[in-house]
Structure 1
Amino acid sequence: MVALRSLARPLISWVQSRFRSCPKLRHLMVETFEEFDSTVVVDGKGGKPILLHVTSRMENQRATGFFNKEPDTIAWLDQLQPGDLFLDVGANIGVYSLYAAVHRGAAVVAFEPESQNFAALNRNIHRNGLAGAVVAFPLAASDEAGPTELHLSSFATGQSHHSAHAPVGEGGVVFRPVFVQGTLALTSDEAMARIAPGKTPRFVKIDVDGNEARVLGGMTALLANPKLEQVLVELSNGDPALIAMMEQAGFEVRRPDHTYGGRGNHIFVRKAAC
């Protein structure tokens, strides 16, 4: 793949120079690109394909690894029943939001603050005809509300490892962002009270690359509601403090069978009432 890119670079450079200097060629290329269908069909279960808009390497990776990158997440989502409410915090381009809606018939609320991912998420919702079934909001879930900054690790659609409030990633590692965009922080408690008043998600997924404690700190009311049964959180190196916090909130942890890059999906299940 690297060799192919190296061979292609001279041609790409030549095309780019003509694109910038020749209006007629630029018009032709733009019109051609507009007609190009960049939709990828992900083979689904039970004859239910999911369509993904793919324009970047990372989007292509997410499409290619749809069912095998995190099989534990897919198996977890398979517990959802039609009509269940699912909250996806850090939805990225919407892989798991789409799965929950298409294959499980769940109603989905998705939060994704990064601008390009949010646009792709909405394209994917539209392309799959899921308007109303999946509703996305450009919010950074947190323990406080108000305008804030989102520090981007990469300026490309489908990428992750961005950080709200400060450029601090997993494990407290400070990084130099390639771009800082504005966003709006809101607690999940307040957001859900406004978005779905009187309703509580049965499942919540949190994938925020280091901001997990702040996200959970902003959903104390949801965590106290017995209708919220399970919370899946991707954690780096276990995070004993966060696990202890969830246990104190009335959940028991199911640790991951496998990890990737030191990260693993921890499933918190509400303890049975005595």
Structure 2
Amino acid sequence: MSAPARIAGSLRRTARAVAFTMRHTRNRVDVLRALIHSSDQATVELRDGTSITAPELRTLIPLLTEVFVNREYEHGDVRVEPNDVVVDIGAHVGVFALYAASHGAARIIAYEPSPVNATLFAHNMKRNSIANVQLVHAAVGDRLGSTTLGLQKWSVGNIVFDNIGLEPSENTVDVSMITLAEIFVNHNLERINFLKMDCEGSEGAVLTAATEALQRVDRIAMEYHDNWSRLEHDAIARLLTKAGFMVDVVPSRTPFIGMIYAKHASLTGGSR
């Protein structure tokens, strides 16, 4: 990418961040100051009082926009309902968990492998008095054991190398790994009403090993990453359709990335 293109892209991102700050935050002065000074860690207070701290604003504001403003984890009947059991794979610092709690989820089980993100996730749940959430510091993939997590410069984009078939980079940490089937066992779950996934390419590995477990999932909203995942979005859609889901694929403006929404065909009379 040329220097002018990089500058133009940076200016567009900054403009979007400023617009979000002015429209949706209480502490806009602090947020704008953090944007100007490129602060390493920042807290955003939304107008409804929700407070979220992340390692940097560059990734936090787009996530807040996706989840709270654009509602990208809602699509038709695929949405969090009151009293849902929600599993969040790739929980980051808790943006989606806070969203699910605000929509009446009865129980939220969150998996996040990054040590920094997991620490801030716990902080954000405590800060917002969310008591019905359980954080597990682990990755989810196609087997039980341990794996290598590649730590990126930004708090999103951390990659589980085993799940995408790449060799580890230099900046890594070893983390535990679990399967979707074991999540049911470990948390004594009969069903998962809403499964959210944003796991930076690990979605293919997670779903490949989850054929039977998927029969106990009602609704899925997930981000796909065709440049990293073992399965591209069309293969994931076929897998979910074969497992009994009605599937919608919604590409984004970003190449290789988009959303997949799935509702199990056994559900009748609504979204539960």
Q: Give the TM-score normalised by structure 1.
A: 0.71
What amino acid does structure 2 have at the position aligned with 1:140? A
SS of the residue 1:245 aligns to: helix
SS of alignment partner, residue 269 of structure 1: strand
One-letter amino acid of the counterpart of residue 135, structure 2: A
Matched pairs, number: 224
| CA positional deviation for 1:224 | 1.5
Give the conservation status (yes or no) of the 8 Å contact 1:167–1:175: no
- Quote the offset at 1:62 in angstroms: 4.4
1:182 and 2:186 are equivalent in the alignment: no
Structure 2, unaligned runs of 5 or more: 1-6, 8-40, 227-231
CA 1:146–1:167 in structure 2 vs 1: closer, same or farther (change >3 Å)? closer
Partner of 1:72: helix, strand, or coil? coil
Using the alignment, how far apart are the partners of 2:179 and 2:215 within structure 1? Answer: 15
Q: Is the 8 A contact 2:221 2:262 kept in 1?
A: yes
Matched, 1:43 2:47: yes
Q: Which letter does structure 1 place at the counterpart of 2:236?
A: L
- Structure 1: 5+ residue runs without aligned partners? 3-36
Deviation at 1:248, TM superposition (A): 1.0
2:237 aligned residue (232, 240, 243): 243
Matched, 1:153 2:145: no
Task: Specify the code of the residue in structure 2 equivalent to 1:211.
Answer: S
Provide the TM-score with structure 2 as the length reference. Answer: 0.71
Distance 2:64 2:101 in 1: 19
Helix, strand or coil: the match of 1:104? coil
Distance in structure 2 (CA, Å) of the matches to 1:186 and 1:64: 27
Which residue of structure 2 aligns with residue 164 of structure 1?
A: 160
Change (3 A) 1:258 1:130: same
**Matched residue, 1:215:** 206
For residues 178-225 of structure 1, give each alpha carbon's deviation from its aligned partner in whole angstroms, at most 9, with x where no partner exists: 511010011121123112x14321010111121112111333332122
What's 1:8 paired with? none
Q: Which structure is larger by alpha-carbon Rg, 1 or 2?
A: 1
Q: Structure 1 CA distance, aligned partners of 2:189 and 2:142?
A: 21
Identity among equivalent pairs (%): 22
Q: Give 1:32's aligned residue.
A: none
SS at match of 1:93: coil
Report the alpha carbon displacement of residue 98 of structure 1 after superposing the two structures with TM: 0.8
